A = this chain, B = another copy of it.
């Protein structure tokens, strides 16, 4: 197998993931502008889309696959801010605030991702107030989500946060399987710890406990949720 990433060419207008994205309501003409200079590349696991501290040159649009977005701490530990998937944009926030990337983005599983140069994206953005408004709304929503994460990090125990994280993953990646929900994302214990904001060993220990308590089952790296109510209770979603 070649070590080079495979390039695939596809018009945005025919993109399978467009319906899930902010591009869903764009007009044909504007989709053509976006397609003009875009490149679509397949990435392998662990490849990095962009690094914290570098200058954004355009936006990434995820076609398939999952991408972790994280900040590196001085201790060498990552804090994962969110996980992006099909239809999500990456990098437009730094583009609009005209700052360097505030985080890095690394592929978690094989992915197909388009890159649209800054100028084309901005051209469409400024010629389409409705699109601009939609994006504004999305950014405002994201800010609210991030504030909630901050407060929970500060106010909840690791145990509560892990339970909440498993439930969140279930909501996002859950697949019904023989009565229980299998979470369809492969995360190392370390990545999971970096979402929760704790040490890897602590996550491993708590997962073992949750397993003993029959709340989850571990199938290889995948987590199966056996008792969502009990997890909800652990996450302290009532006070």
Contact = CB atoms under 8 A, between A and B. Distances in A.
Interface size class of A (residues with CB under 8 A): 35 or more
Contacts of A71: 147-148, 151
A42 interface: no
A139 B102 CA distance: 14
B139 A136 contact: yes
Contacts of A142: 143
Which DSSP category, helix, strand, loop or mixed, fits chain A's interface?
Answer: helix
A59 to B, nearest CB: 13
B147 A102 contact: yes
* Count of chain copies: 2
A172 B102 CA distance: 22
Interface string A118-149: 00000000100100110111011111101111
A103 B146 CA distance: 12
Contacts of A141: 97, 99
Given A81-B150, A93-B143, A142-B143, 11 more contacts: A73-B152, A73-B154, A74-B155, A74-B236, A79-B154, A93-B140, A96-B137, A102-B147, A129-B129, A136-B136, A136-B139
The 3 A-B residue pairs with the shortest CB-CB distance in the complex, in nearest-first order: A73-B155, A97-B140, A154-B197
